[in-house]
Amino acid sequence: MSGPAASKPQASSKSVVLDAIRAAGTISRVGLIRATGFTAPTISTLVRKLINEDLVVETGHAKSTGGKRRVLLQLNHASRYAVGVHLDHGVITYALTNLGGTVVARISRPGAGAEEPQVVVARIATEIAALIDGVGVERLRILGVGVVFPGPVDAPRGIGGPPDVGLAPAMRQWNGFPLGRALEQVAGLPVVLDNDSTAAALGEHWTGGFGTAASAAALYMGTGIGAGLVINGVTYRGPSGNVGELGHVSVSADGPRCWCGARGCVEALAGPAAVVAAVRSDPAATRAAGLAAGGRRSSVVADFAAISRAARRGEPRALALLERSARYVGTAARTLANLMDLEVLVLTGPSLAAAGSVYLPIVRHELRTAFSRGTHTVDVRLSRSAATASAIGAAALILESELVPLGHGPRPAEHLAEERTRLTESAS
């Protein structure tokens, strides 16, 4: 498939029933009739097929309510798995989840660095195979691979930023590279693509981090800054995957020129790369933060994590730079909250995994002046899995295509789509 995750919705009776079972945990056939509005014969047919496909299992009986005790159904969590890959300059993170979205394995490997995309893709295929073999899961149980990336993912062009500037500097050689198709060929599995911030939001939604909020966002900080939005339980991607570019919200019209071409972007003024550059411009601060001289082998994320550790040790220069960055990020976050009437904002991504203790109170403070404060507060939290949220979200892209009706997620694999068509026809 290798399409972007913004493809057209696909509904099927099978995914409606699967999603109802997932949401309920355990449910009887009668419960499914109530939850889905399908007729008893349709539910009976669909459940039989789901059991035959090993996706659903019968699990004991409901408590008797006088009549016959009802058989309960639940997802067969170990029947299918999804691979999530978060591809970034400094690190590539992998997650393997079961059908219920529980992470069963995760690994981190060196990032893409300056290597050629084709070389990195071959390595990713090898590392995916190692991840799957390490858990001992049969390959036919793998639904597919979700790959997420720091940048917009656009259907006809593969991956790439604005045509005049392309992707962020650290990933420039990937501009226009057909990542989905290339990985599908070497890994032999269906691949879907999305951007890392949107995937982080999906991962948060999938693992319950947004609670019941109608308007929620993930503020993602890795090498750059981005945001993913989940509105009424649906991941919002915009028409071209260019949604949530929070790093390019301007907080100063006269500010410095950003790599994107605009002025005063929060990423240019106070993103992780700006913090690292400020520390590196000061030899004493560089030494105090323990940054390697020259920085040839380091990445922005690794340097930023070292600066965060120095701040926690009480290094005043490191702490002051992080606090300044957090005020700028909080200012941009307030803009996002005011535009989207946010109820929940989750701070996530590897740079916030490192520096969350500095950013959380400051971003919270900035959001106390959100315009919605007369009606509700904006609940600002740190993600429970900030370092791996995007990889988990990448796997959730695949699960979403299998489980969620009216999928706002990626296009399902061709064989799954055919299977769904057959099911829908025979069930209706």
Residues that bind Zn ion (CB under 5 A): 248, 258, 260, 262, 265
In the bound state with Zn ion, the residue whose beta carbon lies nearer, of 124 and 265, is: 265
- Helices and strands (H, E) in the chain, number of each type: 14, 15
Cα–Cα distance, 310 to 69 (Å, whole number)? 61
Q: Pairing between strand 142-149 and 103-110?
A: unpaired
Q: With contact defined as beta carbons under 8 Å apart, do 159 and 151 qualify?
A: yes
Closest to Zn ion by CB, 109 or 172: 172
* Closest to Zn ion by CB, 165 or 360: 165
Q: How far is the CB of 156 from Zn ion (least distance, A)?
A: 24
Contact by Cβ (8 Å): 275, 327: no
298 burial class (0-12, 13-18, 19+ CB within 10 angstroms)? middle
What does the block give as tokens for 112? 């893409």
Closer Cβ to Zn ion, 138 or 254, answer by number = 254
For Zn ion, the closer CB: 251 or 321? 251
153 or 265: CB nearest Zn ion: 265
User: What percent of the chain is helix, strand and coil (3-state, nearest 5)?
Assistant: 45, 20, 35
Task: Give the C-alpha separation, 192 to 414, whole Å.
Answer: 12
Is the Cβ of residue 169 or residue 316 nearer to Zn ion in the bound state? Answer: 169
Element at 102 (helix H, strand E): none
- Smallest distance from the beta carbon of 300 to Zn ion, in angstroms? 15
CB of 256 to Zn ion, least distance (A): 10
Give the residue from 183, 154, 160 showing the smallest Cα distance to 172: 160
Smallest distance from Zn ion to CB 266, Å: 8
Which among 54, 27, 59, 67 is positioned nearest to 43, based on CA atoms? 27
Q: How far is the CB of 193 from Zn ion (least distance, A)?
A: 22
**Residue where the block lists tokens 């064989």:** 415
The CA dihedral of 361, 253, 340, 396, to the nearest 10 degrees, is -70
What contacts 422, CB < 8 A, 6 or more positions away? none
Q: How far apart are CA 361 and CA 326, in angstroms?
A: 9
Would you say 22 or 248 has its CB closer to Zn ion?
248
Residue 380, strand partner residues: 345
Nearer to Zn ion, 16 or 270 (CB): 270
> Closest approach of Cβ 26 to Zn ion, in Å?
48
- CB of residue 268 to Zn ion, shortest distance in Å: 6
H helical segments located in 345-388: 350-367
* Nearer to Zn ion (CB atom), residue 78 or residue 262: 262
Strands 344-348 and 379-382 come out as: parallel
CB of 60 to Zn ion, least distance (A): 56
Beta-carbon-side half-sphere exposure of residue 186 (alpha carbons within 13 Å): 18
Q: How far is the CB of 257 from Zn ion (least distance, A)?
A: 9
Distance of closest approach, residue 267 Cβ to Zn ion, in angstroms: 6
Cβ(174)–Cβ(119) under 8 Å? no
